A = this chain, B = another copy of it.
Amino acid sequence: MDERKWLFDLLNVEEQQLSEKQLNILQAAIEMFAEKGYAATSTSEIAKRAGVAEGTIFRHYKTKKDLLLAIVKPTLFQSVAPFLAKKFVKDVFENEYEHYEQFVRAVFKNRYEFVKTYLPAIRVLWQEMAFHSDIKVQFQTIFINHVYDKFKQIVEHFQQKGELALLPPETIIRLTITTIAGFLATRFLIMPDYPWDDEQEMERTIQFLMNGLKA
């Protein structure tokens, strides 16, 4: 099951920890939830696509909602993964990234790969967050505790270096994320069939962002 490396990476588990059937179930669920939405997907459809009996799903996940969470929680963590790394901020301060642009480039590239790799799971996370307040709350908690604070330090660091406009850090963070996420959403969700030149369009997006934010 080499071509399933992405699933192990997403779930952050070793190969031995999940049986073949469990993987089939998870993959089928991710695909169908992404396509039709959680509420519109029946467990019998998932079982059929996964090639298991319906009862098998409920042996591994007590309820359908548990199955959703088994997909959504890892995806949620991976969504903000770079910021969860201990050494991340240190990298910025100790001149790993000399300019905000380098930092943005690194994040952008990293998240581009992330979205490209895990697109269906990410769709599920974003779509269902709108309907399940427990997921939304978890996301907000993680964002505030692990992303926002670090991001703010970085922004203030580059503001002091005179690289960034003296806007409130929240605004700079919002514009940065919005610009990157805007590209990724357009590229992968809204117009995935458009003949994108990813390199060039990302370059343009970064230029736009840096011009927009420079002091």
Interface residues of A (CB under 8 A from B): 35-37, 39-40, 123, 127, 130-131, 167, 171, 174-175, 178-179, 181-183, 185-186, 189, 201, 204-205, 208-209, 211-214
Given known contacts A127-B130, A212-B212, A182 and B174 CB-to-CB distance under 8 angstroms:
yes
Q: How many copies does the complex hold?
A: 4
Measured in the bound complex, the distance between the Cα atoms of B206 and A10 in whole Å is: 37
Q: Contact: A178 with B182, CB < 8 Å?
A: yes
With a cutoff of 8 Å between Cβ atoms, the chain B residues found around residue A182 in the complex are 174-175, 178-179, 181-182
SS class, residues of chain A in contact with chain B = helix
Provide the bound-state CA to CA distance between A167 and B36, in Å: 37
What chain B residues lie within 8 Å of A131 (beta carbons)?
35-37, 40, 127
CB distance from A115 to the nearest CB of B (A): 15
- Closest Cβ of chain B to A153, distance in Å, is 20
Residues of chain B with a CB closer than 8 A to A35's CB: 131
Closest 8 CB pairs of A and B: A178-B182, A212-B212, A39-B39, A39-B40, A208-B212, A37-B131, A211-B212, A182-B182
The chain B residue sitting closest to A136, CB to CB, is B190
B-side contacts of A40, CB under 8 Å: 39, 131
Task: Kindly list chain B residues whose C-beta atoms are within 8 Å of the C-beta of A174.
Answer: 182-183, 186
CB distance from A200 to the nearest CB of B (A): 9
Report B-chain residues with C-beta under 8 Å of the C-beta of A123.
Answer: 130
Distance of A130 Cα from B35 Cα, bound (Å): 8
Specify the chain B residue showing the minimal Cβ separation from A210: B212
Can you spell out 13 A-B residue pairs with CB atoms less than 8 angstroms apart? A36-B131, A37-B39, A37-B131, A39-B39, A39-B40, A40-B131, A175-B179, A178-B179, A178-B183, A178-B186, A181-B182, A211-B211, A211-B214
Residues of chain B contacted by A178 (CB below 8 angstroms): 178-179, 182-183, 185-186
In the bound complex, what is the Cα–Cα distance between A49 and B66 (angstroms)? Answer: 25
Given contacts A127-B130, A181-B182, A182-B181, contact A208 B175 (CB under 8 A): yes
- Give complex CA distance A174, B212 in Å: 15
Chain B residue with minimal CB distance to A214? B211
